[in-house]
Amino acid sequence: MENNKKNINSFQKKLFMSAKLINSVIIILLFFGMFVYYIFFPRTTESNYDKDLKKFPEYTREQLISGEYFKGISDYLSDTIHGRDKFKEYASQIEALYGIVDEEQFFGNPNPPEGNENSSYTNTSVQDESDNSEVSENDSSDTLSTDNSSDTVSVEPEPMDEQLCEGIVILGTRAMELYYGNTDNVKKYAEYLNAYKAQLGDGVRVYSMVIPKACAYYIHDSKKFSDVWEHTVNDLETIKENLNGVENVDVYNALLPHTAEDIYFRTDHHWTGLGAYYGAQEFAKTAGVPFSDLSTYKKEVREGFVGTMYRYTNNSATLLNNPDDFIYYVPSGTYTASFYDWRFNFIKNHDMFFYISEEKKSNLFLTYLNGDAYAAKIESDVCDNGRKLIIFKDSYGNPLAPYLLESFEEIYVVDIRKFELNGIEFIQENGITDVLFAMSAYSAASSGVNRDIERIRVIQ
């Protein structure tokens, strides 16, 4: 009997040891397989959130001796790991569990540059290339208004959670760039537009549409930056005062009655399709052309949009966990849209709206004209008033064209930073009657974009 027990115990011991050995072998094989897969199989080459991933370093003797070569390999392997975007999202979600930030976090320099009035403006946070409630009629005036009050007595709201990440304010669930502007540069912007008007003469109307950043409307509740909105208002007034023959499109006051609506994204640095609608409406009023009501458009919704601000804030968990709805409006009128390179050589015909895959959802703003990739010409089938429009723009101008099919027979859309032809000659050769400069406040205050405005006026 005792021998049987000993045999059973010995068998169980051998079975247990065999199971341990098998488990160890399986674990080792799994780790080895993961190692082989992550090291030798094709690696991640594109990210939904980061523009440029690390490249495998080029070997040189100097890099080897200094240790930079192996450091470069390490950076490459960690930056191109399979599923990197998912890992970053998990990390941000875990970070959100740490709790609410009591004080502002400072990364970079949040303060305006010294001697702002005369210094050269540089956008240190975001470079422009790069939900709809009921729509109501706005009653904007030529005077820049800052009074958004009513006779209704309201209860003082609770202060919002506030962070500063990489120079960008996150107020509640909204991320905003800080706009400080530059008086000298916006005067130069007006001067360059005046030169277009002087050269084109009375037969062509020229317009300035400077589109505020979100901070012009939503920064008031900030503990530290509540006065930043004033810089936008002051610069817009300076531009208006310095225009000569150029017609000012007052987008600031056109958007002001609609701040409770989704006119700017919370997770992206652009305005929304609804904001662009109100901007286009104000332009049509200034130009004296017909304009379709938003009710005539088909509303399209892409949920779960987390835009550029997620990347610019170093992957803010607040933004990741509070995505936008990306809403765009498809016109009912028919048209033909043609796309060209920057010397206006034909590339292809395509709808004005481009489909952006779920994997590239952070780039949904490219829905409009595929972003800044092409110059475009849209020929409307529903307008015959003889008016032809060119929009010189940065990325903020991309959503405007779909709203203007009933306003102009032809609409040309050209990125001011990339166009390689003489703008004056192009306008004259194509019989264009209306010239709209539509760009964000950052671009109007940027010496680089200003130089591009002048560059294409005088280029040979």
Please give the pLDDT value at position 20.
75
The count of C-alpha atoms lying within 13 angstroms of the C-alpha of 61, restricted to the half-sphere facing its C-beta, is 0
Strand partners, 330: 298
Instruction: Find all residues with CB under 8 Å of 75, minimum gap 6, and list them.
Output: 54
**Distance from C-alpha of 419 to C-alpha of 456, rounded to nearest angstrom:** 7
Question: What are the extents of the domains in the chain?
Answer: 1-38, 42-82, 162-458
pLDDT in tens, 261-320: 999 999 999 999 999 999 999 999 999 999 999 999 999 999 999 999 999 998 999 999
Residue 178 contacts residue 168 (beta carbons within 8 Å)? yes
For residue 9, what pLDDT band results from cuts at 50, 70 and 90?
low
What is the residue-averaged pLDDT of the chain? 81
Q: 68-105 pLDDT, tens per residue?
A: 777 767 666 665 666 554 554 444 344 433 433 333 23
Looking at residue 79, its pLDDT comes to 59
307: DSSP letter: -
Instruction: Please give the pLDDT value at position 36.
Output: 67
pLDDT in the model for residue 146: 41
Identity at 70, one-letter amino acid code: F
- CB atoms under 10 Å from CB of 164, counted, come to 22
Report d(CA 63, CA 372) in Å as an integer: 37
Give the β-pairing of 205-211 and 434-440.
Answer: parallel
pTM: 0.71
- What is the CB neighbour count within 10 angstroms for residue 292? 21
363-389, pLDDT tens digit by residue?
999 999 999 999 999 999 999 999 999
Q: What band does 429 get if pLDDT is binned at 50, 70 and 90?
A: very high
Q: Is the pLDDT confidence value at 443 over 90?
A: yes
Q: Which of 81, 54, 57 is nearest to 70 (CA)?
A: 57
351-371 mean pLDDT = 94
Residue 80 is predicted with a pLDDT of 64
Cβ atoms of 329 and 294 within 8 Å: the answer is yes
Per-residue pLDDT at 42: 60
Q: Which two tokens stand for residue 119?
A: 């210094």
121 confidence band (pLDDT: 50, 70, 90): very low
Give the pLDDT confidence score for residue 293 in this predicted structure. 97
- Alpha-carbon distance values, 444 to 11, 161, 187, 192 (Å): 83, 31, 9, 11
Distance from C-alpha of 263 to C-alpha of 214, rounded to nearest angstrom: 9
Contact indicator for 327, 262 with CB cutoff of 8 Å? yes
Q: How confident is the model at residue 260 (pLDDT cuts 50, 70, 90)?
A: very high
pLDDT at 68: 72
Q: Is 70 exceeded by the pLDDT of residue 108? A: no
Rg value, the chain, Cα = 28
Q: What integer pLDDT is reported at residue 46 of this predicted model?
A: 58
Confidence of residue 59 (pLDDT cuts 50, 70, 90): confident
For the segment 406-419, the average pLDDT, to the nearest whole number, is 96
Q: What is the mean pLDDT of residues 399-411?
A: 98
Calculate what percentage of the chain has a pLDDT beyond 70: 72
Tell me how far the alpha carbon of residue 217 is from its chain's centroid: 17
Q: 212: helix, coil or strand?
A: coil
End-to-end CA, the chain: 107
User: Contact 317/89 with Cβ under 8 angstroms?
Assistant: no
The one-letter code for the residue type at 42 is P
Plot region of 326 (φ>0 → left; ψ -120 to 50 → alpha; else → beta) = beta
Between 14 and 107, name the one with better pLDDT.
14
**Residue 378: per-residue pLDDT:** 98
How much is the pLDDT for 26? 85
Count of beta carbons in the 10 Å neighbourhood of residue 89: 19
pLDDT of residue 338: 97
Write the DSSP string, 250-274: -HHHHHGGGTTS--B-SSSSSB-HH
pLDDT at 143: 39
pLDDT digits (tens, 9 = 90+) for 192-240: 999 999 999 999 999 999 999 999 999 999 988 999 999 999 999 999 9
- Phi/psi zone of residue 436: left (φ > 0), alpha (ψ -120 to 50 degrees), beta? beta
How many whole angstroms separate alpha carbon 396 and alpha carbon 131?
Answer: 18
Taking alpha carbons only, the member of 296, 308, 293, 377 closest to residue 338 is 377
Query: What confidence tens digit (pLDDT) does each residue in 388-397 have?
Result: 999 999 999 9
144-156 confidence digits (pLDDT tens):
444 444 444 444 4
